């Protein structure tokens, strides 16, 4: 695996695919700079070697047309602030204007190209467009895990024009390493915590990881499909009736593979999907009609705590309650605290997938786990066992 540390960038221009698809407010201020901060070590490595960095990214979905609201010029000041170097901007990403700006770039300087997705050729993986991009650097560096599952011109196709001079950035290398730790090299016992609303969205992950884990915690809305499938009463809780057979099949497969599955035994139920609803603790298989389970109960949390504290490798994907509402966030916060304690005790913990990352940030756990993944869809596809095109292109 070629990583950026295998190259010296002295007097070289690094063409770096970053993921600067960051949220902006109505005044075009960056509201969360996590992705920019994540790319900083890779950019600094290039500059410290005596090279220059040409950054390319997409923002939003302009669908092949120029959209001033999605111009990367809006983030230029923020990127300069985070990296600590004034960043230049060019209002195109291919062609004469871009090539001239790159030609004038000196060692130690950074140039940010305009939004790649202003060209439909980016998302269609157009080879001629990728070749134009390739003229903008001597070494291609992919550091955009968030788009590594897309076979786009800048994430995958461009790599073929750098047969010897292509590598992973520090962020992407760390993502690959973290997923490998969970899926292949992790110290046992290995635990996967899968939350979220639907079994259907996690089924391929569950099927792929059953061979890799010793324990599986099922939480969130998925709980009730499993509970009802086993004959329990789930009241008005979210439930995929058409996936109950699948839930039973998962339990059967897990048993055959020696994986212990832990499903909530009690839940915090509410008489309305509202922060101000009436609540009661009930057994997860005896939820009254008119009530719905919205968080894990105290007995469940004790069981989960015991499993988490004895695990040496932990994957957390998905919250175990409706954490967006304060009344139903306690279970997810407790889970974060247990994972924090286990991590302090030497376990490796990886958090990934949209909602769990949001929860970790909201409750201040990002520095208390081993690694927080930056790519939602890419992370999920990795866990499903798929080879991501952006990674395969560097390894080719």
**Each residue's pLDDT tens digit, 284-326:** 999 999 999 999 999 999 999 999 999 999 999 989 999 999 9
- Where are any strands of DSSP class E within the chain? 13-17, 52-56, 87-90, 110-113, 139-142, 166-168, 190-194, 215-218, 233-234, 260-262, 266-270, 279-283, 286-287, 292-296, 313-317, 348-351, 371-372
Q: Is 59 labelled as part of a ligand binding site?
A: yes
354 in active site: yes
Q: Is 348 labelled as part of a ligand binding site?
A: no
Q: Is 273 labelled as part of a ligand binding site?
A: no
* Burial classification of residue 52, based on how many CB atoms lie within 10 Å of its CB (0-12 exposed, 13-18 middle, 19 or more buried): buried
Give dist(CA 268, CA 244) in Å, integer. 22
What confidence score (pLDDT) does residue 200 get? 85
Give dist(CA 113, CA 22) in Å, integer. 15
Give dist(CA 173, CA 39) in Å, integer. 12
Q: Is 242 labelled as part of a ligand binding site?
A: no
Supply 149's token pair: 């599952």
**Mean pLDDT for back-to-back runs of 10 residues, the chain (396 residues):** 96 97 95 94 98 97 94 98 98 98 98 98 98 98 93 97 98 93 92 89 88 95 96 96 95 97 98 97 98 98 98 94 96 96 97 84 93 84 88 95
| Residue 21: how many other CB atoms lie within 10 Å | 19
What confidence score (pLDDT) does residue 320 get? 93
| Selected catalytic residue, list 40, 88, 135, 198 | 198
Among 214, 240, 243, 199, which Cα is nearest to 315's? Answer: 214
**Partners of residue 348 on adjacent β-strands:** 313
Q: Do domains 4-173 and 186-383 have the same CATH topology?
A: yes
**Cβ 374 vs Cβ 350: under 8 Å:** no
364 in active site: no
Q: What residue has token string 């995958």?
A: 156
Give dist(CA 45, CA 63) in Å, integer. 33
| Selected catalytic residue, list 64, 108, 232, 354 | 354
198 in active site: yes
| Residue 79: how many other CB atoms lie within 10 Å | 26
- Spacing of C-alpha 383 from chain mean position: 11
Q: Is 293 labelled as part of a ligand binding site?
A: yes
Q: Is 19 labelled as part of a ligand binding site?
A: yes
Give dist(CA 41, CA 53) in Å, integer. 12
Domain 186-383 adopts which CATH fold? Rossmann fold (3.40.50)
* Domain boundaries of the chain, sorted by first residue: 4-173, 186-383
Q: Is 354 labelled as part of a ligand binding site?
A: yes
Domain 4-173 adopts which CATH fold? Rossmann fold (3.40.50)
| 343 cis-preceded (ω within 30 degrees of 0) | no
What confidence score (pLDDT) does residue 385 get? 85
Q: Is 60 labelled as part of a ligand binding site?
A: yes
pTM of this structure: 0.88
35 in active site: yes
| Selected catalytic residue, list 35, 45, 166, 228 | 35
């Amino acid at each position: 695996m070629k990583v950026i540390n295998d190259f010296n960038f002295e007097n070289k221009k690094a063409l770096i695919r970053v993921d600067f698809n960051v949220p902006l407010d109505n005044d075009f201020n960056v509201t969360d700079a996590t992705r920019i901060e994540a790319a900083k070590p890779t950019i600094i490595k290039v500059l410290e070697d005596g090279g220059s960095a040409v950054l390319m990214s997409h923002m939003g979905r302009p669908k092949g047309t120029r959209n001033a609201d999605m111009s990367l010029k809006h983030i230029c000041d923020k990127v300069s602030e985070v990296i600590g170097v004034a960043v230049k901007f060019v209002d195109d990403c291919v062609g004469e204007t871009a090539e001239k700006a790159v030609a004038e770039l000196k060692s130690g300087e950074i140039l940010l190209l305009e939004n790649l997705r202003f060209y439909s050729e980016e998302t269609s993986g157009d080879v001629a467009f990728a070749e134009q991009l390739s003229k903008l650097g001597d070494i291609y560096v992919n550091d955009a895990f968030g788009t590594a599952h897309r076979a786009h011109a800048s994430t995958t196709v461009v790599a073929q024009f750098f047969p010897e001079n292509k590598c992973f950035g520090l962020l992407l290398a760390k993502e690959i390493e973290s997923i490998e730790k969970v899926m292949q090299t992790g110290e046992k016992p290995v635990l996967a915590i899968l939350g979220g609303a639907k079994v259907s969205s996690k089924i391929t992950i569950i099927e792929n990881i059953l061979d890799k884990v010793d324990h599986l915690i099922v939480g969130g809305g998925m709980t009730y499909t499993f509970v009802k499938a086993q004959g329990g009463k789930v009241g008005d809780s979210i439930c995929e009736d058409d996936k109950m057979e699948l839930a039973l099949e998962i339990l059967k497969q897990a048993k055959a593979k020696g994986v212990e599955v832990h499903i909530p035994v009690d839940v915090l139920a509410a008489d309305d999907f509202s922060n101000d609803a009436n609540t009661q603790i009930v057994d997860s298989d005896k939820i009254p009609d008119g009530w719905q389970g919205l968080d894990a109960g105290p007995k469940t949390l004790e069981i989960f705590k015991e499993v988490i504290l004895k695990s040496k490798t932990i994957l957390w994907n998905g919250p175990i309650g409706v954490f967006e509402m304060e009344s139903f966030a306690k279970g997810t916060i407790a889970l974060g605290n247990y994972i924090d304690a286990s991590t302090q005790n030497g376990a490796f913990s990886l958090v990934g997938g949209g909602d769990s990352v949001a929860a970790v940030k909201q409750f201040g756990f990002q520095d208390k786990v081993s690694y927080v993944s930056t790519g939602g869809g890419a992370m999920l596809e990795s866990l499903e066992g798929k080879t991501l095109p952006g990674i395969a292109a560097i390894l080719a």
